[in-house]
Amino acid sequence: MSRESQLFLNLPPPVPGRAEELVPVRMVNEWVYCPRLAYLEWVEGEWAESADTAEGRRSHRRVDEGYGRLPAPEEADDVVRRARGVTMSSQRLGIIAKMDVVDLDDGVAMPVDFKKGKRPHVAAGAYEPERVQVCAQAMILEDNGYKVEQGALWYVGSRERVPVILDDQLRARTNDAISGLRSAALAGRRPPPLQDSPKCPRCSLAGICLPDETNLFHLGGPPRPLNPSDDAARPLYVQKPRARLRKSGERLVVEVEGEKTEVPLVEVSDVAIYGPASVTTPALHALMQEEIPVSWFTSGGWFVGHTVGTGHRNVTVREAQYRAAFDERRCLDLARGLVRAKVRNSRTLLRRNWRAAKGEGSEKDRALGRLKRVATEAETAVNVQQLLGVEGEGAAIYFRCFDRMLAPSTGPEVERFSFATRNRRPPTDPVNAMLSLAYALLARAFTNVASSVGLDPYLGFYHRPRHGRPALALDLMEPFRPIVADSSVVQVINNGEVRPSHFVWNGNACALRPVGRRAFIAAFERRLEQETTHPVFGYRVTMRRLIEVQARLLTRFLQGEIRDYPHYLPR
């Protein structure tokens, strides 16, 4: 048995895949090109647009429209005809194809598949995956009673036609590919990633597949910089009272008090609605169809919930999550790592941002030393109750020193940013009000990303399930609280971006005014755009992309593809 085969023997038990369905022939092509890519796309329903896929879609625009009728086999004699966009299947082979072109000449049919780009200069005239795809189309035509002697590939870039000879070797390879994909779907086992393959850098699913990252845990060696750049889409915040979000063509329009703001739908990653704002039904339908989540907040910034479309269709990820969530040992192991990472990152933020006055060096050293001890204690907690106590001790040490990160203040106005202790529900001072808002924004980000990778955001491992609480999102955000949320609060105070006049008090409760909330959200989004070096993989990514990488790594861990879940621990 090969080492690669041994590495993936610890995957979860088989689950029913899509083996009962007809296999699309284009997925057979993908299987020959990369089995993992075909599995991710067909069985798990993953997809990511790229320049190559967009160009390929444009190349097929004409043939996808379809025209011309393909005569029945018994009507094919002495007929010369071309039909586009012909959909046909073979029950014997268990495959289905939408053929770009079928040429019929004197009773002989020939499938012609369109490809973007130029003809490759290889001995066979075309790459194997493309020849297998044409062969599968030819076999479908034969099973439907047509006579087929050969197929062809048309390369749009060079405007060349390359014949595909349907010999026994190609037919055998096609049958093997169909059988391999169907067997993988039936077994419910994701094939291992390719190793150091030149195919990966241009693959649109590289950021989902994480080939080098997954292999790193088994085979070692630094990953290549395959991680694609962030999607250009960004969140859309609707904060003004009585604002109305509607759809106009392929754009979203925000209307409030006679003012109108438009943004292309493709430039929106998610929508956040605050207070008494509304969304029209057509706009909500468009957002759900594009799998763009809508998060709902109260006027004060409390996260209420989110609206999504049909969601991620890969049930095997959630099944692995549910199995782990009902395993007390695995829950405790995951919880220990989360608390340890949170405490270590709190210590890192204090160490980087401590504004020591004269004679405070020893106080800083004592606080950092105590946090280091607490992080070690988290690793050996024997149960969740003890771990909660350890986390509480770490939080008490951290927040007792939180004001040491704030710029020295003078004057009654600035002194209102002083911080004594963490409080909430409701927060009673400006710093706590911003911390609460930051945690709500972070919870929204992790709720959305958990849903997007196939996880159930409401079933966690450390935070216990409770109605309406995204427990898994709260789990995943623990290590990021100090690094993203708390650092944003420190930044806006020290830079003067949020001022005391941006807050309003109602009794003991303190909240941000709309102008202050907009300023803080802008700073929070800038923090997500900042690049960082992943401490495990060594490449540079934005914090926004890092959050998605961590969520996908959790799915790989839960499904047994990697042995450990690597936490984000900046130095």
Q: Same structural domain for residues 253 and 295?
A: yes
290, amino acid identity: E
Q: Contact at 8 Å (CB) between 245 and 252?
A: yes
If DSSP codes are grouped into helix, strand and coil, which group holds residue 411? coil
Q: How far apart are CA 339 and CA 400, in angstroms?
A: 18
If DSSP codes are grouped into helix, strand and coil, which group holds residue 83? strand
Q: Same structural domain for residues 183 and 264?
A: no
Q: How far apart are CA 343 and CA 453, in angstroms?
A: 26
What is the pTM (predicted TM-score) of this model?
0.76
Q: Same structural domain for residues 150 and 277?
A: no
> Which residue from 83, 63, 59 is spatially nearest to 71, judged by alpha carbons?
83
Q: Same structural domain for residues 438 and 518?
A: yes
Q: Contact at 8 Å (CB) between 211 and 247?
A: no
Under DSSP, the state recorded for 105 is E
Q: How far apart are CA 182 and CA 95, in angstroms?
A: 10
- Residue 150: CATH number of its domain: 3.90.320.10
Q: Same structural domain for residues 71 and 18?
A: yes
* 42: in domain: yes
Q: Same structural domain for residues 341 and 291?
A: no
Q: Same structural domain for residues 113 and 168?
A: yes
Beta-carbon contacts of residue 333 (< 8 Å; ≥ 6 apart): none
* 545: in domain: no
Q: Same structural domain for residues 154 and 9?
A: yes
Q: Same structural domain for residues 331 and 185?
A: no
From residue 465, alpha-carbon distances to 146, 326, 384, 450 in Å are 58, 12, 14, 15
Q: Please list the residues that pair with 503 across neighbouring strands.
A: 512
- Tracing tokens 């012609």 back to the chain, one arrives at 112
Give the chain's domain count.
Answer: 3
- Residues written for the chain: 571
Q: How far apart are CA 271 and CA 243, in angstroms?
A: 13
Q: Where are the beta strands (DSSP E) in 328-401?
A: none
* Structural domain for 265, as ranges: 234-307
* 220: in domain: no
Output the tens digit of pLDDT for each of the chain's 571 residues: 333 333 333 434 444 445 468 889 999 999 999 999 988 888 887 776 544 444 445 544 554 555 556 767 666 566 667 888 889 999 999 999 999 888 888 888 899 998 888 888 888 888 899 999 999 999 999 999 889 999 999 888 888 888 999 999 999 999 999 999 998 888 878 888 888 888 887 787 887 888 878 887 776 666 666 555 556 678 888 878 888 888 888 888 888 887 888 888 888 888 888 888 888 888 888 888 887 888 887 776 677 777 877 766 678 888 899 999 999 899 999 999 999 999 999 999 988 888 766 555 688 888 888 989 988 888 888 898 888 898 888 888 888 888 888 876 555 554 457 777 888 788 888 888 889 889 988 988 898 889 888 898 888 998 887 776 788 999 999 999 999 999 999 888 888 888 888 888 887 888 888 888 888 888 998 898 888 888 887 778 888 888 988 999 999 999 888 888 889 888 7
* 279: in domain: yes
Q: Same structural domain for residues 288 and 329?
A: no
Q: Same structural domain for residues 250 and 334?
A: no
- Residue 244: CATH number of its domain: 3.100.10.20
- Residue 508: CATH number of its domain: 1.20.120.920
* 83: in domain: yes
Q: Same structural domain for residues 146 and 286?
A: no
